[in-house]
């Protein structure tokens, strides 16, 4: 086993499963295939952009003695649709995939959400193994069990909570990830730094380049995963503390939507959203402004935006923010920081405060 490889035990509700993390972790699929995935076949659902990684995964599944049924999916958010779910379920049925067989999901958050939902729904639920291949998927979407697809009416509107039997985070898969995607994943890492506390924030603040040296990177991912697991374990169904993971996302989602999901990638929009949330925190809780300055510097250092495009109007951001499904229709439920490492929910910050925080992003 190469240095830095490790196994994290996840425990969420009644589910317990291992997360294999480190360079070469895909090899563990063969040796550590979960006992409950006792069927003779696996549906290998993969993003076409990671066909090279899917080949390695296929070989590992075959070494585990399973027959592999391949199901490539075109890249992009548009694949997170009910049409894709129907196609994959029908492919599974045609190939004879049964209740004890397993979906193996290889790709970023789009693929993981889609394939995870197929696993949750097909024959009322079959086994699932996540093999995330983006930094965002490793620190965020492959952890916690949320799966789903989009409707024309809204993102992630149809889905299920479905925990995997195993997660395999092989950090060498990040070698082919485009720099912009690495930066977007790092935006979520910065978020964990602010939510978790000074020690993790300092580590994030001092991060050299992306993805960064292997062993420290494995440590960094582990710390983010541990933070998310801790919060999710306490609130699997997203009724309380899990909402704190939404830090920077209230205004971030508003910016993403107001810009037509085109100008900004998710991680870019939430970088701006975090800066606005830090401003609002300073006003409401007295959080020192120096945290916003440090965060702004680390965001800029990793090629994420610190300045809002003039073409995106504040009014449209506010409208989109109010429509966001995370707000309950009346209140924004904004996550603020009482301190770094101490998030809380402010149901309804004054509108002029929110507007001022958005306007400040234009400077
Ligand atoms: N389930 C959850 O809890 C959760 C949490 C956060 C985000 N999400 C969802 O995750 C999705 C975003 O995920 P993402 O940022 O990983 O985007 P993504 O899956 O679209 O991947 C980003 C891009 O990188 C490509 N790619 C992926 N891995 C690669 C690799 N190793 N080498 C080269 N190219 C690669 C993909 O084809 C795509 O073009 C959104 O749909 C979001 O709703 C879900
Ligand atoms: Zn996010």
Residue nearest (by alpha carbon) to ligand 1 atom 30:
177
Residues touching ligand 1 (Cβ under 6 Å) are 47, 49-50, 75, 77, 80, 107-111, 113, 133-134, 136-137, 140-141, 144, 146, 156, 173, 176-177, 181, 184
Q: H or E stretch including 179?
A: helix 179-196
63 plus 167 within the same structural domain: yes
Lowest average pLDDT, out of 62-66, 204-208, 233-237, goes to 233-237
Looking at 143, 176, 209, the residue that finishes a domain is 176
Q: Half-sphere exposure (CA, 13 Å, Cβ side) for 296?
A: 16
Say which CATH number the domain at 61 has.
3.40.50.1970
pLDDT at residue number 229: 97
243 plus 110 within the same structural domain: no
Kindly state whether residue 337 falls inside one of the protein's structural domains. yes
Lowest average pLDDT, out of 84-88, 144-148, 194-198, 237-241, goes to 237-241
Q: How confident is the model at residue 239 (pLDDT cuts 50, 70, 90)?
A: confident
* Nearest ligand to residue 146 Cα: 1
Residue nearest (by alpha carbon) to ligand 1 atom 29:
177
46 CA to centre of ligand 1 in angstroms: 12
Kindly state whether residue 183 falls inside one of the protein's structural domains. yes
Residue nearest (by alpha carbon) to ligand 1 atom 3:
141
244 plus 274 within the same structural domain: yes
Q: How confident is the model at residue 347 (pLDDT cuts 50, 70, 90)?
A: confident
163 plus 271 within the same structural domain: no
43 plus 153 within the same structural domain: yes
Q: What is the pLDDT of residues 159-185, one digit of tens each?
A: 999 999 999 999 999 999 999 999 999
Kindly state whether residue 263 falls inside one of the protein's structural domains. yes
Looking at 158, 176, 194, the residue that finishes a domain is 176
Q: Are 340 and 198 spatial neighbours (Cβ–Cβ below 8 Å)?
A: yes
Q: What is the pLDDT of residues 109-143, one digit of tens each?
A: 999 999 999 999 999 999 999 999 999 999 999 99
Q: Are 337 and 345 spatial neighbours (Cβ–Cβ below 8 Å)?
A: no
102 plus 225 within the same structural domain: no
The rounded percent of the chain whose pLDDT value lies above 90 is 92
Contacts of 75 (CB under 8 A, 6+ apart): 47, 48, 49, 107, 110
Kindly state whether residue 264 falls inside one of the protein's structural domains. yes
Q: Which two tokens stand for residue 250?
A: 């209230």
217 plus 142 within the same structural domain: no
Looking at 176, 198, 225, the residue that finishes a domain is 176
pLDDT at residue number 29: 96
Q: Are 257 and 244 spatial neighbours (Cβ–Cβ below 8 Å)?
A: no
Residue nearest (by alpha carbon) to ligand 1 atom 33:
177
pLDDT at residue number 124: 97
What is d(CA 219, CA 248) in angstroms, rounded to the nearest whole number? 24
* Residue 202: Cβ within 10 Å count: 12
pLDDT at 2 over 60: no
| Best probe residue, ligand 1, of 12, 56, 141, 158 (max atoms within 8 Å of C-beta) | 141
What average pLDDT does range 248-259 have in this prediction? 96
Residue nearest (by alpha carbon) to ligand 1 atom 35:
177
Q: Which two tokens stand for residue 230?
A: 């801790």
Q: What is the mean pLDDT of the chain?
A: 95
pLDDT at residue number 323: 81
Q: H or E stretch including 285?
A: helix 266-285
What is the number of the ligand 1 atom nearest to the C-alpha of 147? 1
pLDDT at residue number 241: 86
Say which CATH number the domain at 184 has.
1.20.1090.10
Q: Are 54 and 106 spatial neighbours (Cβ–Cβ below 8 Å)?
A: yes
181 CA to centre of ligand 1 in angstroms: 8
Domain count, the chain: 2
138 plus 256 within the same structural domain: no
What is the number of the ligand 1 atom nearest to the C-alpha of 111? 19
pLDDT at 326 over 70: no
Q: What is the pLDDT of residues 55-102, one digit of tens each?
A: 999 999 999 999 999 999 999 999 999 999 999 999 999 999 999 999
* CA gyration radius, the chain: 20
Secondary-structure breakdown of the chain: helix, strand, coil percentages, each rounded to the nearest 5? 50, 20, 30
What average pLDDT does range 248-265 have in this prediction? 95
Residue nearest (by alpha carbon) to ligand 1 atom 5:
141
Residues of the domain holding 27? 6-176
32 CA to centre of ligand 2 in angstroms: 30
77 CA to centre of ligand 1 in angstroms: 8
pLDDT at residue number 3: 62
220 plus 247 within the same structural domain: yes
pLDDT at 330 over 80: no
Helices first, then strands: H and E counts in the chain: 13, 11
pLDDT at 1 over 70: no
Kindly state whether residue 1 falls inside one of the protein's structural domains. no
Q: Are 65 and 112 spatial neighbours (Cβ–Cβ below 8 Å)?
A: no
349 plus 203 within the same structural domain: yes
Q: Which two tokens stand for residue 272?
A: 């701006």
pLDDT at 43 over 80: yes
Q: How confident is the model at residue 327 (pLDDT cuts 50, 70, 90)?
A: low
Q: Which two tokens stand for residue 109?
A: 């958050």
| Best probe residue, ligand 1, of 48, 181, 182, 229 (max atoms within 8 Å of C-beta) | 181
């Amino acid at each position: 086993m190469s240095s830095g490889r490790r196994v994290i035990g996840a425990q969420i509700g009644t589910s317990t499963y291992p997360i294999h993390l480190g360079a070469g972790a895909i090899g563990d699929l063969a040796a550590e295939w979960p006992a409950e995935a006792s069927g003779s076949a696996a549906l290998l659902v993969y993003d076409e952009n990671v066909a090279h990684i899917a080949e390695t995964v296929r070989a590992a599944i075959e070494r585990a003695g399973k027959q592999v049924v391949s199901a490539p999916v075109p890249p992009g958010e548009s694949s997170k649709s009910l049409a894709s779910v129907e196609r994959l379920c029908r492919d599974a049925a045609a190939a004879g995939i049964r209740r004890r067989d397993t979906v193996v999901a290889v790709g970023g958050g789009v693929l993981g959400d889609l394939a995870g939902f197929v696993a949750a729904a097909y024959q009322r639920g079959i086994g699932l193994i996540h093999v995330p291949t983006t930094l965002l998927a490793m620190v965020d979407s492959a952890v916690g069990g949320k799966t789903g697809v989009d409707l024309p009416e809204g993102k992630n509107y149809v889905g299920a909570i479905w925990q995997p039997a195993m997660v395999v985070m092989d950090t060498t898969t990040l070698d082919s990830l485009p720099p912009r995607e690495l930066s977007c994943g790092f935006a979520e890492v910065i978020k964990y730094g602010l939510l978790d506390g000074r020690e993790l924030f300092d580590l994030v603040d001092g991060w050299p380049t992306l993805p960064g040296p292997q062993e420290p990177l494995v440590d960094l991912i582990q710390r983010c995963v541990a933070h998310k697991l801790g919060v999710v374990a306490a609130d699997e169904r997203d009724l309380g503390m899990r909402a704190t993971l939404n830090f920077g996302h209230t205004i971030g989602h508003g910016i993403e939507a107001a810009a037509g999901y085109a100008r900004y990638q998710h991680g870019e929009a939430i970088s701006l959203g975090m800066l606005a949330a830090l401003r609002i925190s300073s006003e409401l809780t007295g959080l020192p402004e120096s945290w916003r300055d440090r965060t702004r510097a680390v965001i800029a250092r990793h090629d994420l935006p610190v300045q809002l495009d003039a073409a995106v109007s504040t009014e449209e951001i506010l409208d989109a923010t109010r429509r966001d499904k995370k707000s309950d229709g009346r209140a924004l439920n904004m996550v603020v920081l009482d301190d770094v490492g101490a998030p809380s929910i402010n149901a309804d910050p004054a509108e002029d405060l929110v507007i001022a925080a958005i306007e400040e992003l234009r400077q």
